[in-house]
Amino acid sequence: MKILLPPSETKRPGGSGAPLDLRSLVLPALYEERSAVVDTLVDLAGDEATARSVLKLSARQLGDIEHNRMLRHAPTMPAVDRYTGVLFDALDAATLSAASRRWLGAHVWIHSAPLGPIGALDLIPAYRLAAGTSLPGLSALRRHWSEATQIAIAEEAPPFVLDLRSEAYVALGPVPASVPSAYVRVVTDGEDGSRALNHFNKKSKGLLVRALAEDRPRIGSLRSLRSWAQKHDVVLRDSESPGVWELVVAE
C-alpha cells in the first residue's frame, strides 16, 4: 500500500541533513522533472520583485525567496517533519516510535509541487511553491508533472494507493488506471444525509495516517484496508462516485 498526502504551505525551517540529493528521492524516474523545477525556482529567486509576484508573497513571506535560492545547498530534514499545518500536526510524526516512522517511510508519499511525490522520510529543504503557481519558462505544473508522475507510479506498481490529496495535487499526477486506488473525502452524517467537511478534513486524514503508522498493518489490497478500518472503528465506505471512499467522522 501507498498513501498519497498533500503537502502544506507552512514548513518548519532549518534542518541538519545533507543538501538536497534529487537522485535519492523515491520515484527516481522523476529526476529530470524535479531538476527542471528546482533550477527554475533557483533562477527565479535571483529577481526578488519577479519572485514575489510569481509566488504571490506578502512582505512577511519574502524569506521564502531565499529558501528557494538555496534549494540545492540548504540543510534538509525528513519531509514528514518539514511540513506543518493541520494534517501534519495531527499526524505528529515526531512523536511516533522509530518503527512507526519506518512504516511511514515505506508507505507514505507526500506530493510536493517542486519535487513531485516524495517519501515521508526523504530529506528535503524548505521551499515555496504551490500547485497552482505558473513558473516563467516552464510548462504549467499540471502539464509538467501529470504524465511523468503517472508513468512513475505505474512503474512502481504499488498494490493499491489510498489517495488523501487535495484536488489541486491530484491534478499534478493522477493515480494511473493500472493501479488500484481509492480517493478519500471526509464527511459527516446528519439527519439531512452526508455532507463534506472542510474544517475537519485535514485533521481527520492526519489522524488516519497516524493510526495506521502506530498499528503498522500489512495491507496488500483495498479489501484488507477496509478490514483493518472495521477492526479499528474507522468508517471507510464507498460513495456514490466510483473510486471514491468516504471517511466518516463526527463533527
If you average pLDDT over residues 108-133, what whole number do you get? 97
DSSP per position, 54-92 = HHT--GGGTHHHHHHHTTTTS-BEEHHHHB-SHHHHHH-
- The SS3 call for residue 38 is helix
Percent of the residues in the chain that have a pLDDT greater than 70, as a whole number: 96
What one-character DSSP code corresponds to residue 118?
E
Give the mean pLDDT of 121-137.
Answer: 96
Greatest Cα-to-Cα distance within the chain, rounded to the nearest angstrom: 56
Residue 195: pLDDT band by 50, 70, 90 thresholds? low
Structure confidence at residue 228 (pLDDT): 95
Tell me the HSE value of 109 on the side-chain side, using a 13 A CA sphere. 28
Q: Given pLDDT bands bounded at 50, 70 and 90, which one contains residue 189?
A: confident
Closest residue by Cα to residue 54 from 136, 168, 140: 136
Residue 193 has pLDDT above 60, yes or no: no
- Using DSSP, state whether 161 is helix, strand or coil: strand
- When pLDDT is averaged across residues 11-27 and rounded to a whole number, the result is 97
| 250 band by pLDDT with thresholds 50, 70 and 90 | confident
Residues forming a β-bridge with 181: 161
Is the confidence at residue 190, as pLDDT, over 90? no
Q: How confident is the model at residue 200 (pLDDT cuts 50, 70, 90)?
A: confident
Q: What is the pLDDT of residue 15?
A: 96
**What's the pLDDT band for 191 if we cut at 50, 70, 90?**
low
- Asked whether 96 and 73 are in contact (CB, 8 A), the reply is no
Better-scored residue on pLDDT, 181 or 193: 181
Show the cell assigned to 202.
Answer: 485535514
pTM attached to this predicted model: 0.94
The model's confidence at residue 239, banded by pLDDT at 50, 70 and 90, is confident
C-beta atoms surrounding 143 within 10 Å: 11
pLDDT-based confidence at 188, cuts 50/70/90? confident
User: What spatial distance separates the first Cα and last Cα of the chain, rounded to whole Å?
Assistant: 28
CA distances from 3 to 68, 156, 173, 218 (A): 27, 13, 14, 13
On whether the CB atoms of residues 116 and 124 are closer than 8 A, the answer is: no
Q: CA–CA separation, 125 vs 13, rounded Å? A: 8
Residue 181, Cβ density class (10 Å: 0-12 exposed, 13-18 middle, ≥19 buried): buried
Whether 126 has a pLDDT exceeding 70, the answer reads yes
pLDDT of 134 over the 60 cut: yes
